[in-house]
Chain A
């Protein structure tokens, strides 16, 4: 039979265990609002029994572990879906910001102003003798050019903003991957798997944050370390205790913007197109694909209008009976006689320095056309140079004005019918529809992803989150246990006192 001292020791283990467990409760309560915190549970185990003949007497209780309640597969799923959610939200925000202006269906929209320009020729056809209507046409043309250029500039500004954001996001990503690699080191040094709850929680919170910035795949190794790769698998950001930095190379990307490279020791690999999701992936997508695509459509529209109007305009005669010149010019000089298009400065990626209107890399067709578009300064200065007549010498001849006005209805609305292939109104309508559909798609996707991430977070919280009622209940239970252990020690103390001080009196 155990002695009184043994009983005192037994009571002591009870006190210590309840106090330690209360400490865990306190930790949970303290971190109820800490992002990434995983609730902990005190694992109490009865101590080995002591044999006394045929009998086994207990020796108290021990706290054997402080266990974080986590589901690591759920964590990995959340990282992946968070990246998709932030990517969709970023694309929606980036596109929605310019959609109203780009896809304006009202009187100040591109469609209305292009139509107004051609109606200027219709107005002129009614009275080609009128210098006021000639000036009016030039104003309408200027309105159309300004509308195209302001939209183009808006897209350019958004692309520049995205470019700037890419640079700052890369810095944030590097900071996070560095911290995660350090935490990996602490996790790998755990005495037993899952022992270092705080390191794992901090790593989870940082990885959550990383996933909003960049699309990632996360794998957990045998020692609990995270291996993090880009979502396309094109590069590794974190491997155990090593972090690999991203950096930007100014001017090395599309249209002179920054490319994103991954540093691997002394070498680098370009991962610009390998980052698909997260804010970084979305910014790159907006910058290099979505917004650029709309710029290309505007360039093509400008090329279609400029080439066809120029070709028709040169067939007519001005008010003085002189054959028409080109109506539109590029800022760099006269139009190209072979194509009917305003000239362009050689695009940077074109080593031959040739305008790439319709051959070579399709992504370079008509590039920069909107920016180059201008009304022939001579016509602006002298509106009588508008070639409204079909033949020389008759002031009331409106044949060419009619032909120019009818360009708005023709399907061959570009040089040789190949630039646009459909009327301008159809082209702009497609642009509006496309912008709207994309905004709607990204909005829907962002909402759906938000719902999914929320559901996953709720699921994770149901397992790992702190419930204050539960902690209060545990606290009461442990408090009662502590009080009972203390009472037990008090009783044993009285027995000892009885034995030592009162026995035999």
Chain B
């Protein structure tokens, strides 16, 4: 049994095969030059959706890392300020022990320094003003005037995590949240009280009370410093984790999106052979004809 083949059939079939080979070659050329396996969503819809998911996750993690950076922009200087305040308090404690060596000028300088620390700014906002960040939280006076508020500034990192980026001035410098200026644990009041005690050596109870207050302030500042340090450590850990996670995601995404060069190069080589063979066959088929043998 033989299958009758019309003269145009071979041509039509070969032409279609040739076109498909050329289409594959063109597509693989794009894959090689761009490095992307997927030239359009129709190449692999499932992978396209996965790539989008990976992109979203990477972008969200990158944003979370940036948010953490923003939080650290306030937490680090806040901790530095608290550390400086601790140093000042330690000096005050020394002065309260060896009181005779204390000068009024030094105590005034320490108080001014503490006031300056309490009004520290970072990236355009007062660090210890609560959310009232545009106004200096402490104004000099006896007692000092507290102009901030007790609001926490919470920064969302991602869908599940957020961090408080501030400690309020009352918590740091007035002895605790909600504490009012002039109370014994007010750091500025403590300097004033120490100055009064030192100028009144006949009343050792005043000095003892001032010293005790400084101990309480010292403890409070240490607690705040630990809190700030803990937050920063958490953020640094989160950044590290998210960076590693992003690297993994990028790697996974790459397996979906990137061109498999050995595979594509092999396909290109095979298609080039196929194209060459098809062209050769088409040319030969056109030549072989009974009419050529008729005289």
Taking beta carbons and an 8 Å cutoff, which residues of A are in contact with B? 32-33, 39, 95-96, 99-100, 103, 105-106, 109, 111-112, 115-116, 119, 122-123, 125-127, 129-130, 389, 391, 393-399, 402, 405-406, 409, 425, 428-430, 432-440, 443, 450, 454, 457-458, 461-470, 472-473, 476
Contacts and interface: CB of A to CB of B under 8 A. Distances in A.
A405 B156 contact: yes
B254 to A, nearest CB: 13
B49 A462 contact: no
Contacts of A430: 49
A33 B49 CA distance: 47
18 contacts: A103-B41, A105-B41, A109-B52, A119-B63, A126-B67, A129-B133, A396-B131, A396-B166, A406-B156, A436-B45, A436-B49, A454-B13, A461-B8, A463-B4, A465-B5, A465-B6, A466-B8, A472-B294
A439 B42 contact: yes
B294 A395 contact: no
A127 B60 CA distance: 19
Contact of A96 (B42, B51, B52): B42
A307 B3 CA distance: 68
A-B pairs, top 6 by smallest CB distance, nearest first, are A465-B6, A439-B42, A436-B45, A396-B133, A436-B41, A126-B70
A272 B39 CA distance: 34
B266 interface: no
Contact of B294 (A409, A425, A464, A476): A476
Contacts of B155: 125-126, 398, 402
B291 A33 contact: no
A432 B134 contact: no
A208 to B, nearest CB: 13
B48 A402 contact: no
B153 A432 contact: no
A116 B63 CA distance: 9
Interface of B: 3-9, 12-13, 16, 39-46, 48-49, 51-53, 55-56, 59-60, 63, 66-67, 70-71, 73, 123-125, 129-134, 149, 151, 153-156, 158-159, 162, 165-166, 289-291, 294
Contacts of B123: 127
A33 B70 CA distance: 74
Nearest to B47: A436
Contacts of B129: 396
A450 B12 CA distance: 12
A100 B40 contact: yes
A305 to B, nearest CB: 15
Given A433-B49, A443-B42, A396 B9 contact: no
Given A396-B130, A467-B7, 7 more contacts: A99-B40, A123-B70, A402-B156, A432-B45, A439-B41, A466-B6, A469-B289
A340 B289 CA distance: 78
A402 B154 CA distance: 8
A399 B152 CA distance: 10
A436 B42 contact: yes
A461 B9 contact: yes
A186 B46 CA distance: 55
A397 B151 contact: yes
A473 B71 CA distance: 91
B124 A130 contact: yes
A443 B41 CA distance: 12
Nearest to B157: A122
Contacts of A396: 125, 129-134, 151, 153, 166
A436 B130 CA distance: 50
Given A402-B156, A432-B52, A461-B8, A472 B42 contact: no
Given A99-B41, A402-B162, A394 B49 contact: no
Given A461-B6, A466-B6, A433 B48 contact: yes
B143 to A, nearest CB: 23
A395 B132 contact: yes
B39 to A, nearest CB: 8
A465 B149 contact: no
A130 B70 CA distance: 13
Nearest to A409: B159
Given A119-B63, A461-B9, A469-B290, A395 B134 contact: yes
A397 B52 CA distance: 33
A465 B42 contact: no
A316 B106 CA distance: 47
Given A439-B41, A461-B8, A473 B290 contact: yes
B6 A467 contact: yes
B49 A429 contact: yes
A105 B52 contact: yes
Given A432-B41, A433-B45, A462 B151 contact: no
A399 B149 CA distance: 15
B221 to A, nearest CB: 23
Contacts of B53: 425, 429
A96 B151 contact: no
B16 A397 contact: no
A111 B52 contact: yes
A472 B13 CA distance: 23
Given A127-B124, A396-B134, A402-B162, A122 B7 contact: no
B6 A105 contact: no
Chain A CB within 10 Å — which of B44, B159, B289 has the most? B159
Contacts of B131: 389, 391, 394-398
A444 B16 CA distance: 16
A394 B71 contact: no
A457 B7 CA distance: 13
Contact of B46 (A428, A433, A454): A433
B154 to A, nearest CB: 6
Nearest to A116: B59
A126 B71 contact: yes
A13 B177 CA distance: 125
- Residue among B39, B71, B125, B290 with most chain A CB within 10 A: B290
A386 to B, nearest CB: 16
Contact of B130 (A119, A394, A405, A434): A394
A153 B55 CA distance: 25
